[in-house]
Structure 1
Amino acid sequence: MNTLTIYRELESVMDGDAAIKIAEMLGRIHDDLKNTVTKFEFRALATDTAELKGIVRELAEAQKRTEFRVEELAEAQKRTELRLDNLTVKVEDLVKEHAKTRTIIGDLTDTIGYTLENSAYKALPKLLKQDYDIVLTSKMIRTYLIDNRGYELEVNIFARGEQHGQPIVIMGESKSRLSHNKIDSFFKKRIERFEGIYANIFPVFVTHIVSSSNVAQYAKEKGLALYYSYQFD
């Protein structure tokens, strides 16, 4: 505030000494008011600063809690990964054991099948002659043959023969337990694969037992000669 300007304005309407005193008084009032506003603003700033410090402390505590939780999660993840590693090892061991079991079962199945076929090689010539008037012209064997697609397939029962003076090829298989599905599979995967390669294929199947009472009738309808192991004695 310019007190000199105020003094000059007051001097034009009052005594000079009074104008000086009033101008000085207004100057002091202005300064006091100015200082008062500054102190008020300072207190407000101090209050805001204190609140800000409190917020910063709260944020710091929250950050610490978050970091602690992250560490806990990291530890939990490590434990989970360790458990998964252990589980993976166990699963791999189970897979290996399962593979071994399947191999053993496969070997056992092959042994049973080969044993059944070996008995069939001795008994079938007589049975085929007796039931179908078939005379073998070659030894009955297990062999590999090229099919009509050019692939080599295993044929478990194979022989050449004659039926009523006509040349035929005996082609067969064995299963310990015979079902409708296995009969269908035999015709699809073996008999049909050699059509056009061999004329007059005579299908034969040997088994220990059938899966249901109508399997034998189904085999008959398909033109399949069915023999049971107990007939080989």
Structure 2
Amino acid sequence: MPSVALMKKLSALDPALRDALLAVMEEVASQKEPREESIPRAAFDELTNVVRRLSAAQELTAQTLQTLADAQARTEQCLSTLTERVDRLAQAQERTELRLNELAEAQSRTERHLQELAQAQSRTEQRLNELAQAQAQTEQRLTTLTERVDRLAEAQERTEKRLDELASAQIALQETVERLALGLGSVRDQVGGLSRTMAYALENEAYRYLPDFLKERHGIVVLERLVRTEIAGREVNFFGRIRKDGHEGHLVGECVLRLDDRMKLAQIQVTIDAVEETLGGPVIPVIVTHFAKKDVLEKARQRGILVVQSFEW
């Protein structure tokens, strides 16, 4: 039987090698007794040495395998580290590609903006050309205007000279006008007096002919002599009690030489309102005149004002 030390060494060998050695040892053991004298001691010792060398080679192989295992572990650790770095690099690559896409879009926007700026620049240059042309035209017009201003300045000098002459003539004319004004004032006084005389004459004539005319033409009976009076602070040229269609009232009249202004209708309306407020109605308004314009005459009829022209009686 092999010794305990030898069995420990055999257990450390490769299984195939260990099985081969055990088989040899069993074969030797089975033939030891019968052939004890025929197996030399040197051969047995040589076999033992072979076993020792194989054991040593096995230990070296085990150490080599352990070294390889350690190297494999380090390799796997390196591969793990490399894998992590590759993953980080892949993520960084993705971020880089995303950033590149963003930069590409930004570049596209920049190019569009540059194109817009180029177009705007083109429009600006065109506008500048137009302004330059306008400036040239303006300068030409200014040159023309300067020439015109020079001519106007010369004309102004002639005008001022003419104005001085006219001023002298104006002074002489003013003196003449003042003399004429003095004479015109006298004429106005005379005309005013003549107008009042004619108005009074027409008014006096109306006092004589108006009652019969009103009765014959309009069925208005004058119950009292017509008089000139003042009612509510207003002068009334013709005033008196009358009767028409069985109803009594008052006649209120004005005398004007020409009825050619609608404002005269408004004036008599104020007088009518004053009489109605003071004495009550009814009131028949009358205007006596030498001449009445058609439009004013029609307006008077619309307001119920009786217009009597002197040629009618």
Work out whether residues 180 and 218 of structure 1, in 8 Å CA contact, stay in contact via their aligned partners in 2: no
Matches within 5 A, 1:80-229: 92-143=178-229, 145-147=230-232, 151=233, 153-199=234-280, 200-212=282-294, 214-229=295-310
Task: Output one character per residue of 1:51-105: Cα deviation in whole Å (capped at 9) or x when no partner.
Answer: xxxxxxxxxxxxxxxxxxxxxxxxxxxxx9xx96x87765554443333222222
Larger RCO (CA under 8 A, 6+ residues apart): 1
Q: Percent identity?
A: 31
SS in 2 for 1:155: strand
Distance in 1 of aligned mates of 2:263 and 2:191: 18
Relative to the length of structure 2, the TM-score reads 0.41
User: What is the Cα deviation at residue 181 of structure 1?
Assistant: 1.9
Work out whether residues 177 and 208 of structure 1, in 8 Å CA contact, stay in contact via their aligned partners in 2: yes
User: What is the Cα deviation at residue 125 of structure 1?
Assistant: 1.0
Q: What residue number does 1:77 align with?
A: none
Task: Output one character per residue of 1:139-189: Cα deviation in whole Å (capped at 9) or x when no partner.
Answer: 01223x131xxx3x3221222112233221111112222124244243245
Aligned pair in 2 of structure 1 residues 94, 142: CA closer, same or farther (>3 Å)? Answer: same
Q: What residue number does 2:155 align with?
A: none
Aligned length: 146
Matches within 5 A, 1:62-81: none
Aligned pair in 2 of structure 1 residues 123, 97: CA closer, same or farther (>3 Å)? Answer: same
Aligned pair in 2 of structure 1 residues 118, 231: CA closer, same or farther (>3 Å)? Answer: same
Relative to the length of structure 1, the TM-score reads 0.53
Aligned pair in 2 of structure 1 residues 87, 102: CA closer, same or farther (>3 Å)? Answer: same
Decide which structure has the larger Cα Rg and report it: 2
SS in 1 for 2:262: helix
Distance in 2 of aligned mates of 1:137 and 1:100: 44
Distance in 1 of aligned mates of 2:306 and 2:214: 9
Distance in 1 of aligned mates of 2:270 and 2:194: 22
Moved more, 91-100 or 114-123: 91-100
Task: Output one character per residue of 1:188-225: Cα deviation in whole Å (capped at 9) or x when no partner.
Answer: 4522333301222211011222233x332221101111
Work out whether residues 292 and 309 of structure 2, in 8 Å CA contact, stay in contact via their aligned partners in 1: no
SS in 2 for 1:192: helix
CA RMSD of aligned residues (A): 2.8
Q: What residue number does 1:12 align with?
A: none
5+ long unaligned stretches in structure 1:
1-79
| Structure with more of its chain in helix, by fraction | 2
| Aligned residue identity for 2:248 | P
Distance in 1 of aligned mates of 2:201 and 2:263: 19
Distance in 2 of aligned mates of 1:185 and 1:107: 25
User: What is the Cα deviation at residue 112 of structure 1?
Assistant: 1.4
